Amino acid sequence: MSVKVERLVKTYDKTRALDDISFEIQSGEIVGFLGPNGAGKSTTMKIITGCLASDSGDVFINGVNTKDNFKEIKKTIGYLPENNPLYLNMYVKEYLEYSASMYLDSKKINAAVENAIQAVGLSSHKSKRIGELSKGYKQRTGIARAIIHNPSILILDEPTTGLDPNQILEIRNLIKELGKEKTVILSTHIMQEAEAVCDRALIINKGKIVADDSLKNLKTKNTGDSTIVEFDLKNISGVDFQKKINEFAQKEGFSILSITKNKGNLENIFRELTTE
């Protein structure tokens, strides 16, 4: 399912959190929503998921304006909010059954809970109390809740924040796996995360979209690739080897030891686009 955001504006008191943002995400894409803290990522996600109203602008899910029939549209969206709010005193399975009951007939709950537990790899922990789980398993529980009604769109707000490196890898792999069947929007301020998981990135800064492209294009476009050529210099003297370097190498009979393409670095691009 596709998501289209058109000219969203949101102001909290005097803070303009979203300043006329538009973008479109096609069915099946995994898109990274990148930006520094306070850029407007959570606000955008809350508006797409119907948890917050915008001042103006529209959100379309598969071409249907969420203002027209949000009750139905909501069934197609799974949302993991920032900080993953969970009921720590509940047991994993109990919590997921409770969450499923908000969307599904009682007959469908058991199967839905089992599917979600399987999908996120929670089988060995399903009878534990949520409060006893590690942060990684808490995160899996939150993702299980987000997919309990088998939504086509998954919106994950900073899903790996606070996890250790192993847990981060596990959750990223899980998101990639879920992304095979769902449209995923994932917010993060970690550039490597976008590189590891996403096809495309939207970069937001101060409530404005400052870049929207494939990661491949972003990396080459903004930083300008450079090429490092390593020579064996012992046979060269007084030559301008910036010009026609290959011809020269051949003519002069020295060897090019290596040519390294220095790929654009996403961290630099992020900094370029989001700092003044």
* Beta carbons within 10 angstroms of residue 247's beta carbon: 9
| Spatial CA neighbour of 49 closest among 30, 73, 29, 25 | 73
Q: Tell me whether residue 52 or residue 64 sits nearer to ligand ADP (CB atom).
A: 52
Nearest to 233 by CA among 251, 250, 256: 256
DSSP 27: T
**CB neighbours of residue 231 within 10 Å:** 15
List phi, psi (to 5°) of 189: -110, 10
Q: Which of 1, 3, 40, 133 binds ligand ADP (CB under 6 A)?
A: 40
From 10-18, 173-181, 236-244, 259-267, span contacting ligand ADP (CB under 6 A): 10-18
In the complex, minimum distance from the CB of residue 182 to ligand ADP, in angstroms, rounded to a whole number: 21
How many residues belong to the chain? 276
CA distance readout (Å), 166 to 80, 209, 216: 20, 31, 26
Looking at 8-16, 146-154, 190-198, 267-275, which segment touches ligand ADP (CB under 6 A)? Answer: 8-16
Residue in 8, 39, 154, 191 binding ligand ADP, rule: CB under 6 A: 39
The conformation of residue 126, written as its DSSP 8-state character, comes to T
**Cβ(189)–Cβ(19) below 8 Å:** no
Site residues for ligand ADP, window 103-122 (CB under 6 A)? none
Residue of 7, 43, 24, 21 lying closest to 209 (CA atoms): 21
Q: Which of 38, 85, 131, 162 is the binder for ligand ADP (CB under 6 A)?
A: 38
What's the rounded Cα separation, in Å, for the pair 157 and 237?
58
Tell me the two tokens of residue 141: 């529980």
> Of 8 and 96, which CB lies nearer to ligand ADP in the complex structure?
8
Q: Facing residues of 34 across strands?
A: 188, 203
Q: Which stretch binds ligand ADP (CB under 6 A): 7-15, 58-66, 228-236, 255-263?
A: 7-15
Pairing of strands 226-231, 256-262: antiparallel
The distance of Cα 97 from the centroid of its chain, to the nearest Å, equals 27
Contact stretch for ligand ADP (CB under 6 A) within 39-47, 84-92, 226-234, 235-243 = 39-47
Q: Residue 62 Cβ, how far from ligand ADP at the closest point, in Å?
A: 25
Q: State in angstroms the smallest separation of the CB of 7 from ligand ADP.
A: 17
Which residue from 25, 43, 84, 175 is in contact with ligand ADP, where contact means CB under 6 A? 43
Q: How far is the CB of 8 from ligand ADP (least distance, A)?
A: 11
- We find the least distance from the C-beta atom of residue 23 to ligand ADP, in angstroms, to be 15
Does residue number 37 form part of the binding site for ligand ADP (CB under 6 A)? yes
Question: CB-wise, 30 or 48, nearer to ligand ADP?
Answer: 48
Minimum separation from the CB atom of position 213 to ligand ADP (A) = 19
**By CB under 6 A, residue 15 contacts ligand ADP:** yes
> Quick check: 188 and 39 in contact, CB under 8 A?
no
Contact region with ligand ADP (CB under 6 A), list: 32-40, 174-182, 240-248, 257-265: 32-40
Positions touching ligand ADP (CB under 6 A) are 12-13, 15, 17, 35, 37-43
